[in-house]
Amino acid sequence: RGTSLARCTCPKEAEKTCGKINFTLKYDYENETLTVRILRAFDLPAKDFCGSSDPYVKIYLLPDRKRKFQTRVHRKTLNPTFDESFHFPVPHEELASRKLHLSVFDFDRFSRHDMIGEVILENLFEDSDLSRETSIWRDIQYATTVSACWAGLGFSKG
């Protein structure tokens, strides 16, 4: 009988980072569109046996999880350059209540893709008013499957 572990970011691990990601934000007030441009990631952890990763990024504008975008997979690199733009239609008055969620994954051809980490930008206006394209660097927060998460699922370790 098999049991699958839930993937979670545990509080103890939340302080650890696993690389950095560089992206830009720009809001088109006329067309009411937020453009997220994923530029590059730096110093990602190796997830493959050969000492590299095959990273890609999933992008959500929370709380909407139906509309998601994804970069191309970059093979065998810990420092990928993506340079891909994604457009989210969103009225200006909703921007303050939205959060940008970037999840960095390692592509695995034979099994479930490994989540490397994530960035959640709580305040889209934190670094600019979004009228001009603004470059942002953020630490990627570590995400893992660990036994400590069992407690959150209602299981005991005994």
Give the model confidence (pLDDT) of 38-80 as tens digits: 999 999 998 877 788 999 999 999 998 889 999 999 999 999 9
User: What tokens does 101 get?
Assistant: 């969620």
pLDDT per residue as tens digits for the range 111-123: 778 899 999 999 9
Q: Which residue has the tokens 């600019």?
A: 128
Question: What domain range includes position 74?
Answer: 17-152
**Does residue 4 fall inside a structural domain?**
no
Rounded to whole angstroms, the Cα distance separating 57 from 74 reads 10
Residue 43's region, left for phi above 0, alpha for psi from -120 to 50, else beta, is left
pTM of the complete model = 0.79
- Number of domains forming the structure of the chain: 1
44 lies in some domain: yes
- Determine, yes or no, domain membership for 142: yes
Q: 71 in helix, strand or coil?
A: coil
Assign residue 94 the CATH number of its domain: 2.60.40.150
Is residue 9 in a domain?
Answer: no
Q: Which two structure tokens, joined as six digits, stand for 91?
A: 């009225």
At 6-30, the pLDDT tens digits run: 344 434 444 577 999 999 999 999 9
Determine, yes or no, domain membership for 7. Answer: no
Q: Is residue 6 part of a domain?
A: no
**Residue 108 forms part of a structural domain:** yes
Instruction: Say whether pLDDT at 146 is over 60.
Output: no
pLDDT of res. 15: 57
* DSSP H or E stretch at residue 106: strand 99-106
Residue 10 is assigned to a structural domain of this protein: no
